[in-house]
Every structure is written in structure tokens, then in C-alpha cells.
Amino acid sequence: MRRRTIVGALLATLLTAPLAGCVGQPSPTPSAPSTTSSAGTAVNVPGSATPTGHPFTLAQLPRIDGSTANIPLISLAIQRLTGVPEAEADNAVRTTGTPNAYRNLIDGDADLLIVYEADQAVKAEIKRSGVRLELHPIGRDALVFFANASNPVTSLTTAQYRDIYTGRIANWSKVGGNDVKIVAYQRPEESGSQALLRKYVVGKAKMAKAPAELVTAEMGEIIDGVASYANTGNALGYSVYYYLANMYGVEGIKMLGASGVAPSRETIGNGSYPYTNDFYAVIRAEASADSPARKVLAWLTSEQGRQAVEDAGYVAAK
């Protein structure tokens, strides 16, 4: 089965090995309470630029961590803030995934995150830590469900997705498909996509217990599993739109709609797709005004940062 990616050597390396923060070293994932600010000003102020005309060198950047699906944006931000070529920026990216990134920030092992929303358990960790975080929306993505391309089902309702993942529906014939068992893949409880599944679909309901082989630690594994499961079309999985559409597309997979609305950049941008959610630039609230983290945050929330989000293929936050 042929796989396509858009970030070349970076993803070829990072999707086959454990992930680590960006220009630094981080660990797991939460989302926290705190302030959400409006757009800041560009970082490139008089006297702050390097001899190359960029506001930072690689060594001057804050330690950046984040979500796997934000790797392309982190790389592009590094390129535009430092002027280094794409390959060098790609090599500077070190991310540990949504939960570990939040933990690294509250533990002082990262300075700035570009990251998806944390799950409730990680949010509780942040609250217990007493560390105040600032979350600034910079882009939009969405939870998406997908199946093998041979599956005749094209869209399900939220209630149907919920009933599948809580064990109430176990056969595709109950939702307009063939008379075969639904093989529902899952992600670990603290993953970013799992947080979105609980937020928009499952809520506090108890998830059906999946066999260990159907709970995938890496984002790419769930896609590969659904694409190839027993050479049939009866598997189901979920991820975030950007990752599936741009970073780890696999032949033989199709995204399913939600209540008849197909996920796309357009439906995510206009909010008509129901599982749309912001992702964030996050810093510690105590970061000083002249700190690298706050300066990069100002750039990310400026028009320059918004353009970088769009140029990397995401939908910029409104």
C-alpha cells in the first residue's frame, strides 16, 4: 500500500521513530485554563533582527514542543523566524505529542507549544500543578472518522459514532453498511484525537474496551490499521483532518462525514463541519515581555503568523 506525505524527510524520520520538542526537549500532554489573547505584533522590531534580517537564530529560539499534527507549522515558523532552509528547520523540530508537550511546559522543559487541546486528565494535571498557562488560538482543525474505501458508508451521525465507540452498535448493517462486524480502532486516552472524540462524540460515557492490538500509540498506526485490516472494509478509525489529509494519507482510506457534512478545509473554515476545534500557541503566563517565548507568541498571533498557518496548509483561527 503506497503512502504519501508532504513534509518529506522530516516526517519520514519522525513518523517512524519516537517523537521528542523543537530546539529543546519536552515530554507528555495537557490543555490548561488561562488567558486567550488577541493578535500580537510582529517580532521583527527595530534593533531585534539578526544580521540576516530575521528576528532569531536557531540558538535564540525558545524551546518549542507540540502535537504531531503541528510539525509542518513548527518547521515553517522556524524557517521564517530564523531564515534557515527547510531541511535545517525540519531537523530542528522536536515534538513529544500533545500530552507530553503540556507536561514539558508546566515542568519547565519547554517554553512554547504549538499544540492541540489537551484531554481532561491532562487539564486536571495542569490545574493541580498551579502553573498558569496562556492559550492563544492560532488555527483550526477537526476530528475526522475514516474507513476503508470499500466500505459503502459515507457519513454517520454523532449518535451513531457514539454508539459504535460505546459498544451499542457492533455491526455495519445497523448504520447502512454491510452485514459485518465493526472493528473500531482507538487511540490512547490522553492523545489529542482522543480528547476531541470525548469532547464532540463520546462525552463522559464509558468507551467500549478495545483489544490491545486495536489501540494504536502512533497516529500513523491507526490509519495503516484501518486501511489494511484483514483486507476488508469493516474497520473504523479517527484522527485529525490535517494529519490524515496532508501528512499521512494512505491509499484505500476515505474520510466519513458527520450528519452529511464532509470534512474539508472549507467546512472546517466556515464551521459547518461539526467537530471543528482550535489548536493553540501556549506559553507560561509568567513569561516576561522580553522572553523569546513571548516574542514568538507575538509573531504567531500577528498577521505574519496567520499567514504561516495558512501557508502550511491549515485553516487560520478567526
Tell me the per-residue pLDDT of 141-186, one tens digit each, with 9 for 90 and over.
Answer: 999 999 999 999 999 999 999 999 999 999 999 999 999 999 999 9
DSSP, collapsed to helix, strand or coil, labels residue 102 as: helix
Beta-strand (E) ranges in the chain?
Answer: 3-4, 64-66, 112-115, 133-148, 155-156, 183-184, 235-240, 249-250, 253-258, 276-284, 315-316
Measuring CA to CA, how many Å separate 258 from each of 58, 160, 191, 201, 237?
42, 10, 21, 11, 14
Q: Is pLDDT of 139 > 60? A: yes
| 280-307: pLDDT as tens digits | 999 999 999 999 999 999 999 999 999 9
* CATH code for residues 3-139+278-316: 3.40.190.10
Are the CB atoms for 123 and 106 separated by under 8 Å? no
Rounded CA separation 196/202 (Å)? 9
Residue-level pLDDT at 151: 93
Domain positions in the chain: 3-139+278-316, 141-270
Ramachandran angles phi, psi of 136, nearest 5°: -120, 115
pLDDT in tens, 197-206: 999 999 989 9
Per the prediction, the chain carries an average pLDDT of: 84
pLDDT in tens, 40-95: 333 333 234 555 678 999 999 999 999 999 999 999 999 999 999 999 999 999 99
CATH of domain 141-270: 3.40.190.10
Q: Nearest-CA neighbor of 171 among 187, 189, 153?
A: 153
Torsion of CA 160, 166, 171, 177, to 10 degrees: 20
Do 3-139+278-316 and 141-270 have matching folds?
Answer: yes
Q: What percent of the chain has pLDDT over 70?
A: 81
**pLDDT at 222 (0 to 100):** 77
Instruction: Report the pLDDT value the prediction gives residue 28, as an integer from 0 to 100.
Output: 37
Q: Of 195, 217, 200, 198, whose CA–CA distance to 119 is shortest?
A: 195
Strands 155-156, 64-66: pairing is unpaired
